[in-house]
Chains A and B, each alone.
Chain A
Amino acid sequence: MKYPSQGVARLYFIAAIGLFAAQILFGLIMGLQYVIGDFLFPAIPFNVARMVHTNALIVWLLMGFMGAAYYLVPEEAERDLIAPWLAKLMFWIFLVAAALTVIGYLFVPYAGLAKMTGNELLPTMGREFLEQPTITKIGIVIVALAFLFNIGGTILTGRKTVVNLVLLIGLVGLAVFFLFSFYNPTNLVLDKYYWWWVVHLWVEGVWELILGSILAFVLIKTTGVDREVVEKWLYVIIAMTLITGIIGTGHHYYWIGTPEYWQWWGSIFSAMEPIPFFMMTVFAFNMVNRRRRNHPNKAAMLWALGTAVMAFLGAGVWGFLHTLSPVNFYTHGTQITAAHGHMAFYGAYVMIVLAIISYAMPIMNGREANSQRSQVLEMWSFWLMTVSMVFITLFLTAAGILQVYLQRFSDAPLQFMLVQDKIAIFYWLRELTGLVFLVGLVLYIWSFFVANKEPGLTSAAVDQALKGNAGPAAAIA
């Protein structure tokens, strides 16, 4: 760690992993409720489990992004954070706000929570992913502003690299588009239209800039490839992201009351949204193949390559599957959407946060990379979580195809609940696969404890080992 203030990232990463565990736990509860409908009813109804599942995901990814920024911005800017104390203070405010919100979800009926927090004064609650009480949303804005002040100030007074500037643009966009969560008119069409300015312009817009810059940073550090090359790739990738993704918002405007021309705009532009993800895959593999050093942290490199591949599959391919309007007419709001959502979030955002944690945590703990045994455990967790997410996606896709056929496509469409009973086998398979994912997560967390007990690997040791071996092939093994 070159600058002491980078160390604040540690807090953010630890909290992120804690919330990740909560997210998975509630995911398993929901998965079981899909097949045993009264499981934990009425104590934890499905909607409550789902709020915890999705909101924990959002908050832990934000924590991961913030941790990533606090870690990489000083290193890129070649100076300490302008206000490390502010970063620490904001961490505790964010964590307490998140914890109180989750406690509210779990122990107060949602209508009671709305009353307690004065939702009628500025109604923003009860919309998907934006369920947080208005006061929590205001807290998020304050934390985001303080964060941007800290990060922006550090970037603008230090060395200005492309990685830092792209990250800053992404983070400013994140904060700006979140403001649309405060706009909630009675007119349902307008409500939905601008709700997507938060949701879509986050995950298919500015978040991809954050993803791109973190990935570029990890690749620069682990491969030693010339910064100029990486930066050119980064610009091209994020250019394609926004060129396709902004008008690509149109794929959400097919059936919510907006004019029919969105079926053309949305289909054409969102059909091109896989392009930047494909470029990201090519980019990551290219950089690793052209590496000028053999970094001892193989686990971090695995996550970096993994996120490039899985983001392409989950966001790119699975998004394309149902993005053309004639297809979406049948698949809109079915398990196909759920399938896409799971692999896209895991591939693009979970894995990039785990990549930067994997790279930065050992360094913050005073070693270049974790021990061999810890890395092997981490790589096992990578494969268990990634393969189970592929299968979760496949099972939900199978469920979705059947659902579309039985409920919407066949000559005698069946009722929703009848269809749900018929496709229950896939929900069972999804739940079992979810348990495998949990095993992967446990191994992941365990790998940190193993790492703390053993001396880490160093570049020198890796180079030494390679000299006695047959060359580059040994480095990959």
Chain B
Amino acid sequence: MAQTFTKTMARNIFYGGSVFFFLLFLALTFDTSMALPDRDRRELLDPTTERGQQIAHGKALWEENNCIGCHSLLGEGAYFAPELGNVYVRFGNNTEAIKAFIQSRPAEGIPGRRSMPQFNFAPDQLEAIAQFLKYASEINTAGWPPNKQG
């Protein structure tokens, strides 16, 4: 680099650029926060309603059984098992089908094949997970995934 470009200039670009773009990021975050209520279906999460409690319970179960360790949700997670952000749609807009699938998994797996573990969920837990996945499918994700296969 030519001598006209000094270390002090480089340092100033670093500090100035970083601070400027971090502030811009915060501004965009603020704007996003304002826009989210119309997109993220937070009205479903009202904890004073039964559905709100079910979704919160479902998310806790989703986390405490590490579902993300095999599946993806809105495209994030592991890629070992199907995307579940749209599983409600894929299963014909039917929470019963989701519950039946989870219940049907053999405890010892399927010889030679990938298989979801049997978690022995109680009926209220199954309903909570299904409600959580239904909620996830209703978030406005800008049209993603491209089709129902996820």
Contact = CB atoms under 8 A, between A and B. Distances in A.
Contact of A187 (B45, B67, B114, B147): B45
Interface stretch (A20-28, A41-49, A68-76): A41-49
B119 to A, nearest CB: 8
Interface residues of A, number: 77
B65 A243 contact: no
B144 interface: yes
Interface in B24-59: 24-25, 28-29, 31-32, 35-36, 39-40, 42, 45, 55-56, 59
Contact of A41 (B29, B60, B109, B140): B109
Interface string A256-270: 111110110100000
A145 interface: no
A46 B69 contact: yes
Contact of A232 (B7, B45, B65, B140): B7
B38 to A, nearest CB: 9
Contact of B144 (A47, A231, A255, A334): A255
B69 A51 contact: yes
Given A235-B13, A409-B146, A415-B149, A126 B65 contact: yes
Contact of A259 (B11, B35, B72): B35
B67 A232 contact: no
A192 B146 CA distance: 20
B18 A243 contact: yes
Contacts of B60: 120, 123
A187 B149 contact: no
Nearest to B18: A242
B79 A257 contact: no
B80 A239 contact: no
Interface in B105-140: 107-115, 117, 119, 135-136, 139-140
Interface in A224-272: 228, 231-233, 235-236, 238-239, 242-243, 246-247, 249-250, 253-260, 262-263, 265
B102 interface: no
B78 A260 contact: no
A111 B149 contact: no
B66 A51 contact: yes
A38 B40 CA distance: 37
Contacts of B56: 186
Given A42-B117, A126-B64, A258-B36, A416 B149 contact: yes
B92 interface: no
A193 B32 contact: yes
A278 to B, nearest CB: 15
Given A46-B81, A254-B142, A255-B74, 9 more contacts: A33-B80, A48-B69, A51-B66, A233-B1, A239-B13, A250-B28, A262-B28, A408-B145, A409-B146
17 contacts: A37-B114, A41-B117, A47-B68, A125-B64, A187-B45, A189-B139, A228-B7, A239-B14, A246-B25, A247-B24, A250-B28, A253-B32, A255-B141, A256-B74, A258-B35, A407-B150, A420-B114
